[in-house]
Amino acid sequence: MKISYLFVYGTLRSDFPKKSPVKNILNLYAEWWCKATVKGKLHDIDWYPGLVPSHNPQDRVSGEIFRIMDEQSLLSGLDEYEGCSENYLEPHEYRREVIPVITEEGEIVLAWVYLYNWDVNDESQIHSGDYLNP
């Protein structure tokens, strides 16, 4: 099954104040679609966030959905950026998975997302679920 969407929640968001070279990859191979949320917990890892799965439906993380125009080019570039390509030793810091995402209109779509793959501690949790508005 081809997945046509990517959910971003941190430094790749269109409203993230700092410009990053990897945003060029995102803008070349995908287009912004809408704001959205996913079930999960957000943690402040260093200068960037990490999304970890949660079974609690009240744990929500805010972000955006991009429509993917060139899946191979986009995901290979982002896998390098997120450190989860074959060029990195395992366990990778992030892993790419497909999860359900709820658009701001309430529609549920399946989207690629980069989940944080290492251990986190509770002190680092961003309780608002929004990296730009902690």
Whether residue 89 has pLDDT greater than 70: yes
pLDDT tens digits for 70-86?
A: 999 999 999 999 999 99
| Per-residue model confidence (pLDDT) at position 1 | 65
Report how far residue 10's alpha carbon sits from residue 48's, in angstroms, rounded to the nearest whole number: 7
39-76: buried (b, 16+ CB within 10 Å) or exposed (e) per residue?
bbbbbbeeeebbbbeeeeeebbbbbbbbebeeeeebbe
Residue with tokens 């968001």: 13
Return the closest-CA partner of residue 111 out of 42, 33, 43.
33
Whether residue 122 has pLDDT greater than 80: no
| Per-residue model confidence (pLDDT) at position 17 | 87
| Per-residue model confidence (pLDDT) at position 100 | 98
Whether 19 and 13 have beta carbons less than 8 Å apart is answered as no
Residue 89 DSSP code: P
Where are the domains positioned within the chain? Answer: 5-126
Residues above pLDDT 70, as percent of the chain = 99
pTM (2 decimals)? 0.95
CATH code linked to domain 5-126: 3.10.490.10
Residue with tokens 């995402």: 101
